[in-house]
């Protein structure tokens, strides 16, 4: 079964610093991978998705992720954090008619 593991339940950065949220996948076939963001008391919003077209995927709000097959990773990055980036981030993998989420990483941005 396909699954994703997010390393680090909580990441704290200063405003303007690099954001790096880690996600590793487990899949016997090429995976379809996603990053979602959830703000308090809201649903999930798609940040970006990997569907094998390109290994470097650019998303909304300045986020991007790189698919690395050799490392089975799909880490999310943003060069400069904003206060508005504070939220919960979920990595997800789709397949077999469903979508499964990682445990989530809470991003805190300090002024």
Partner 1 sequence: DTEVTQTPKHLVMGMTNKKSLKCEQHMGHRAMYWYKQKAKKPPELMFVYSYEKLSINESVPSRFSPECPNSSLLNLHLHALQPEDSALYLCASSQVSLATGTGELFFGEGSRLTVL
Residues that bind partner 1 (CB under 8 A): 31-32, 34, 36, 41-46, 49, 51, 90, 94-104
Neighbours of 40 (CB within 10 A): 7
- To partner 1, the closest distance from the beta carbon of 105 in angstroms equals 10
- To partner 1, the closest distance from the beta carbon of 99 in angstroms equals 6
Contacts of 33 (CB under 8 A, 6+ apart): 4, 23, 25, 49, 50, 65, 67, 74, 91, 92, 93, 94
- To partner 1, the closest distance from the beta carbon of 34 in angstroms equals 6
Residue environment code for 8-29, b if the CB has 16+ CB neighbours within 10 A, otherwise e: eeebebeeeeebebbbbbeeee
Nearest CB to partner 1, comparing residues 30 and 79: 30
- To partner 1, the closest distance from the beta carbon of 39 in angstroms equals 10
Tell me how far apart the alpha carbons of residues 30 and 9 are, in angstroms, rounded to a whole number: 26
Nearest CB to partner 1, comparing residues 18 and 103: 103
Nearest CB to partner 1, comparing residues 24 and 94: 94
Nearest CB to partner 1, comparing residues 39 and 80: 39
């Amino acid at each position: 079964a396909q699954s994703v593991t997010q390393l680090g339940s909580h990441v704290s950065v200063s405003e303007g610093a690099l954001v790096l949220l880690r996600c590793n996948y487990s899949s016997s076939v090429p995976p379809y991978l996603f990053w979602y963001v959830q703000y308090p008391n809201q649903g999930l919003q798609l940040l970006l998705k990997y569907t094998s077209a390109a290994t470097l995927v650019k998303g909304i709000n300045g986020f991007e992720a790189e698919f690395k097959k050799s490392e089975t990773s799909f880490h999310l990055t943003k060069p400069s954090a904003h206060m508005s980036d504070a939220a919960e981030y979920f990595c997800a993998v789709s397949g077999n008619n469903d979508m499964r989420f990682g445990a989530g990483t809470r991003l805190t941005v300090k002024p």
